[in-house]
Amino acid sequence: MTGARSGRFAGERAPAFVALNSSLALDWRLWPEDVEGSVAHARTLRGAGVLSGAELRAVEDSLAAVAREIEAGAFVPSDADEDVHMAVERRLTEIAGEAGAKLHTGRSRNDQVVTDVRLHLRRVLERQDAALDALQHVLLMRASEHVETVMPAYTHLQRAQVTSLAQHLLAYFWMVERDRGRMAAARDACLELPLGAGAAVGLNHDLDRAAIAEDLGFERLCENSLDAVASRDFVVDYLAAAAQLGGHFSRLGAELVLWATSEFGFVLLPDAFSGGSSIMPQKKNPDAAELMRAAAPRLTADLGGLLGVLHGLPLAYNTDLREDKRYLFDAVDCLDQILPVALGLLEGASFDEARMAAACDSFLAATDVADYLVGKGVPFREAHHVTGTLVRRCLETGTDLADAGLEDLLALSPAFAEDYFELHEPAAQLARKRSHGGSAPVRVREQLERAGAALAARPCC
Ligand code: ARG
């Protein structure tokens, strides 16, 4: 008998409790890691003399058979199986008999589950990091096409100064670069092996934890058995990284939604990533970008949910910890859906350079005008005031900053001269933004190189 209640209990569990207590809907996806971890554990049981060679072979063969049954959809867990671990062990014991019944020696579901989750999360991180790598490549490629494509930069969503589309896209490149750093830290936290901690205090058996670690690709052992079974900060690390990534994607999604409006018209989103309206035949809706935006609150809630579960929880294992998978897998699924959509949107977006250039109105040069006066020896605060006055007059007369007459300019400040009229071309404005990390094409080309080098230096985890 493989149940967790065994001889201690009289009578059956109440159906309402069975329903609440079943973890299967939450943890079934862990079965491959549960099988893998069980094989590694069985090998150390052999090393400790708990299993004979024949029993180890029986356990290995039977676990492989369980895996095949699950893969083929032939194995359906029963109500009696509280979680994936008990389901796998029950079926193993049905197939292997007594050898299977020995497998749980020196192991608790408390150290087992947290081992399985680490193994699983390592795989998730490999997959999602590869997707982020691809996304960065697309951002780099799209940016390199638009080093000279001028557009307004916004502050307070008001037109501010000239920048380039490359500069704008590269901002997201660096956000994702840092996100990948945080994902890599989460992966590192998954390289510590909890198995061997037992239920809470360690084992009565002399199992070779280092051998299990090596077998399962862990780099270190958890140093404290209570910490090993009670902590979920490696999951928090992942969820925190995911929440930040979600925040970044929400900003990108929001910008794509805005840019795709008729009012902005900066981008045409690919039809393959757009929806229609059930009543208005002309509509093309940026659903994919909207859902990218909406992933952020979901990911933030997943992080908040797990932090809430962990808050004030006495050591060591508590069933509350079962809920870690609810939040973890929700975030994993959310990112698995969002990542390819972000990639497709960026690959397929068709940017309207003319609309972006047309949005660069003459007032974007106002800071350049003030700095021009600074170059003539005018203190910046005074230059700011003079230029502000000039802007107000232009707005009152409905003229452009570039069209002011020299006489009017001189009336505002004697520092103005003929070269004022060379300031205004958007390309010239762009070229002046030449501080390190600035929007000038010469700087953006350097930035592209540094971005490419950062990408090449970051191995997918
Ligand atoms: N299914 C549980 C989880 O996901 C593991 C079982 C822990 N042990 C226990 N006695 N309830 O965390």
CATH assignment of the domain containing 51: 1.10.275.10
Q: Can you list the pairs that 443-452 forms with residues at least 24 positions away whose Cβ atoms lie under 8 Å?
A: 444/143, 444/147, 444/164, 444/166, 444/167, 444/170, 445/147, 447/167, 447/170, 448/140, 448/143, 448/144, 448/147, 448/166, 448/170, 451/136, 451/140, 451/143, 451/170, 451/173, 451/174, 451/177, 452/140
> Last residue of a domain, which of 321, 342, 358?
358
- Say if ligand 1 is within 6 A of residue 23 CB: yes
Pocket test for ligand 1, best of 110, 114, 323 (most atoms within 8 A of CB): 110
Closest-CA residue, ligand 1 atom 6, reads 109
Q: Tell me the C-alpha distance between 435 and 71, whole Å.
A: 57
Q: What are phi and psi of 351, to 5 degrees?
A: -85, 140
* Three-class DSSP category at 322: helix
**Domain shared by 322 and 372, yes or no:** no
Q: Considering the domain boundaries, does residue 90 fall inside one?
A: yes
Please state whether 165 falls in left (phi above 0), alpha (psi between -120 and 50) or beta. Answer: alpha
**Domain shared by 21 and 89, yes or no:** yes
Strands 220-221 and 192-193: parallel
Task: With beta carbons less than 8 A apart as the criterion, state whether 193 and 220 touch.
Answer: yes
Write b or e for each residue in 152-185: b if 16 or more Cβ atoms lie within 10 A of its Cβ, otherwise e.
Answer: bbeeeeebebbbbbbbbbbbbbbbbbebbebbbe
**Domain shared by 322 and 339, yes or no:** yes
Q: Considering the domain boundaries, does residue 337 fall inside one?
A: yes
pLDDT at position 7, please? 85
pLDDT at position 80, please? 86
**Domain shared by 100 and 176, yes or no:** no
**Domain shared by 295 and 347, yes or no:** yes
- Print the domain residue range for 149: 110-358
pTM to 2 decimal places? 0.96
pLDDT at position 5, please? 77
**Domain shared by 171 and 308, yes or no:** yes
**Domain shared by 330 and 404, yes or no:** no
Q: Considering the domain boundaries, does residue 89 fall inside one?
A: yes
Token pair for residue 173?
């490149």
Q: How many helices (H) and strands (E) does the chain have?
A: 19, 6
Q: Considering the domain boundaries, does residue 317 fall inside one?
A: yes
CATH of the domain at 429: 1.10.40.30
**Domain shared by 315 and 417, yes or no:** no
- Residues with a known catalytic role: 156, 277
pLDDT at position 293, please? 98
**Domain shared by 248 and 347, yes or no:** yes
The pLDDT tens digits along the chain (461 residues) read 446 777 899 999 999 999 999 999 999 999 999 999 999 999 999 999 999 999 999 999 999 999 999 999 999 898 889 999 999 999 999 999 999 999 999 999 999 999 999 999 999 999 999 999 999 999 999 999 999 999 999 999 999 999 999 999 999 999 999 999 999 999 999 999 999 999 999 999 999 999 999 999 999 999 999 999 999 999 999 999 999 999 999 999 999 999 999 999 999 999 999 999 899 899 999 999 999 999 999 999 999 999 999 999 999 999 999 999 999 999 999 999 999 999 999 999 999 999 999 999 999 999 999 999 999 999 999 999 999 999 999 999 999 999 999 999 999 999 999 999 999 999 999 999 999 999 999 999 999 999 999 999 987 76
Q: Considering the domain boundaries, does residue 55 fall inside one?
A: yes
Amino acid at 408: D
- Say if ligand 1 is within 6 A of residue 322 CB: yes
Q: Kindly give the distance from the C-alpha atom of residue 56 to the centroid of ligand 1, in angstroms, as a whole number.
A: 25
Q: Tell me the C-alpha distance between 392 and 261, whole Å.
A: 29
CATH of the domain at 141: 1.20.200.10
> Last residue of a domain, which of 358, 384, 407?
358
| Ligand 1 atom index nearest CA of 83 | 1
Q: Considering the domain boundaries, does residue 2 fall inside one?
A: no
**Domain shared by 389 and 339, yes or no:** no
pLDDT at position 71, please? 97
Closest-CA residue, ligand 1 atom 1, reads 83
pLDDT at position 40, please? 98
Q: Tell me the C-alpha distance between 396 and 374, whole Å.
A: 25
Cα–Cα separations (whole angstroms), residue 354 to 151, 208, 452: 9, 67, 28
**Domain shared by 206 and 93, yes or no:** no
What is the number of structural domains in the chain? 3
**Domain shared by 98 and 116, yes or no:** no
Q: How far is CA 209 from the centre of its chain?
A: 32
pLDDT at position 1, please? 47
